[in-house]
Chains A and B, each alone.
Chain A
Amino acid sequence: MIYKLIISASLFISTFVLATSTSVPQPVPAVFTPTSIRFQTIDLYADSEDEPLAAYQIEVIAEFPSGSVSLVGVEGGDHAATKGAFAQPPVYDPDALTHSRIILAAYTSCDAANLPIGRVRIARLHVQIESTAGNAANPANDLNQERKNITNPTYRVRVIAAGRADGTRITADFEALPGEHR
């Protein structure tokens, strides 16, 4: 009777420890092997028409079914066109670099007279694109041919806020234009 009890307790403890140690989720490795890695710039434009743009907060979402897009860098906007207001890179969450979406935000402490009006480039993103397209169709790994076969990612911009110098809300259009591949 005593031995039975000790054995069942030991079995229970061992099973529990084993179950808990194996129930911790392990990172799942990527199932695809990238056949091409390239870099691209994304220019972000704002158009506030005749309103001076002092602050903005947008979400940029990359959609790329045949691979992944990672943000590798953020730089500021066109210094001359924005009158220096958005020359510095916008604020962003560094943890979002490896995801396909990122929130960018910038505000200024300039006078209304020194704020950009109309359509200006407010920031530029640098992304890394990993694509699996053409892997089976191109065993010779001809890079030029492969580039032609790759479907380019698409980028969407969701406007969260845009405002004047005093923090009041305005309506502005934002656009993400992919640059050349490198």
Chain B
Amino acid sequence: MSHDPDAQPSPDDAIPPRLHHDLVRLHRPDGSPTVPTDIDDRIRLIARHRLTQLGPVRVHVPAAREVDTDVRCRRLAAIRWIAISASAAVLALSSMLILPRFGSSRGASGPGGGLASRPLSPDGLALVPQSPLPHDINNDGAVDILDAQRLAFVLRTDGPREQGGASWDINADGNIDQADATAIAQHVVDTKKPGGTG
């Protein structure tokens, strides 16, 4: 809405000149402060955008203020991400520190603990692969001391030890001997083994 509608033609072609003139007169009481022309143009522009549904209208704000707000938002987002990352790191660190404490009470057997303890290699640097569980050597459906007795009997009488194959090498040392029978005996007395006779 311009200051003097008589002097300037209506810039909006969609509005009849007469209606435009009446509207200007209606909203301009005598003695009221005048509205700058550029504001009128901006309002008109916004209205046109909305009417034609061209998309969201961006209201122009001073450039310095826009940059300031943008930086603040970015800073907030960065702080938020730092806080989340710190919490996640603390969670992970605590899990790493606490979980081994619960696990350390299991699997530790004393001297002669047999299969539960994993022996070190001769150089003491690497763990020797854990032995397989003793097998049901006498085929009675249970793994107990009678399997050690059966293995000892076969070894003593030079029986057919090949029938067991590598599965009779309980301590995985490459030989089937009395040490394997001892390993079975130590395994069956382990009171902590899962699903064992203990």
Interface SS of chain A: helix, strand, loop or mixed? mixed
The listed residue with most B CB atoms (<10 A of its CB), out of A6, A99, A101, A166, is A166
Q: A2-B75, A5-B80 are in contact. Are A57 and B145 (CB under 8 A)?
A: yes
Give the residues from 147 to 164 in chain B that come closer than 8 angstroms, CB to CB, to chain A: 147-153, 155-156
- Residue in B101, B145, B198 whose beta carbon sits within 8 Å of that of A24 in the complex: B101
Indicate if A154 sits at the interface (CB-CB under 8 A).
no
Q: How many chain A residues touch B (Cβ–Cβ < 8 Å)? A: 43
Range class of the B interface residue count: 35 or more
Indicate if A77 sits at the interface (CB-CB under 8 A).
no
- Residues of chain A within 8 A (CB-CB) of B138 are 167-168
Q: Report yes or no: A5 in contact with B191, Cβ–Cβ below 8 A.
A: no
Interface hit among B45-53, B57-65, B104-112, B123-131: B104-112
Q: Report yes or no: A163 in contact with B149, Cβ–Cβ below 8 A.
A: yes
- Residues of chain B within 8 A (CB-CB) of A55 are 145-146, 148-149
Q: Report yes or no: A107 in contact with B148, Cβ–Cβ below 8 A.
A: yes
A residues bordering B, Cβ < 8 Å? 1-2, 5-6, 8-9, 12-13, 16-17, 20, 23-24, 54-57, 59, 91-96, 99, 101-109, 160-161, 163-169
B residues bordering A, Cβ < 8 Å? 75-76, 79-80, 83, 86-87, 90-91, 94, 98, 101, 109-113, 137-138, 140, 142, 144-153, 155-156, 178, 181-182, 185-186, 188-192, 197-198
Other A-B contacts than A107-B148, A165-B153, 12 sampled, CB-CB below 8 A, are: A5-B76, A5-B80, A13-B90, A23-B98, A24-B98, A54-B149, A93-B189, A93-B198, A95-B109, A105-B145, A160-B145, A163-B146
